Amino acid sequence: MVRFSYAHIPAYPLDESIRLIKVADELGFYAAYACDETWWKDMWLMFAAAARETRQIRLGPNVTHVILRDPAHIVQMLGTLDAARDAPNAWSARAISPSFPSTVSTSRA
């Protein structure tokens, strides 16, 4: 099976970035990736905002800094992003193994 993903550079205005990710989601793209670089907009905040606007597309980094960000902090951000909606994200435990138990409730009241 061929899956298509969208690589995004967070240099666009935030609204435009979210719109582009939303269009990729509506078109059935498998994932949206972005660079976690210091000279672009914060990828983690952009994906948190996009998680509320999308349904199925997986979100996650294609580049992140383990020198500038502690690896435990990266895992914490991935977990928070995963909990932002019911669909798994690109590098979350639920994306790798859907039966992996979530430690954060993802139910919406």
Residue 78 lies in a domain: yes
Residue 38 lies in a domain: yes
Residue 63 lies in a domain: yes
At 18-66, the pLDDT tens digits run 999 999 999 999 999 998 888 889 999 999 999 989 988 988 888 888 8
Domain of 31, in residue numbers? 5-96
Residue 109 lies in a domain: no
Distance (Å) of CA 32 to CA 11, 37, 40, 58, 76: 15, 16, 16, 6, 19
Residue 84 lies in a domain: yes
Domains contained in the chain, number: 1
Residue 48 lies in a domain: yes
Residue 44 lies in a domain: yes
At 69-105, the pLDDT tens digits run 888 888 888 888 877 776 555 555 444 444 444 444 4
Residue 33 lies in a domain: yes
Q: Looking at residue 91, what is its pLDDT? A: 55
Look at residues 68, 65, 57 and name the one whose alpha carbon lies nearest to residue 90: 57
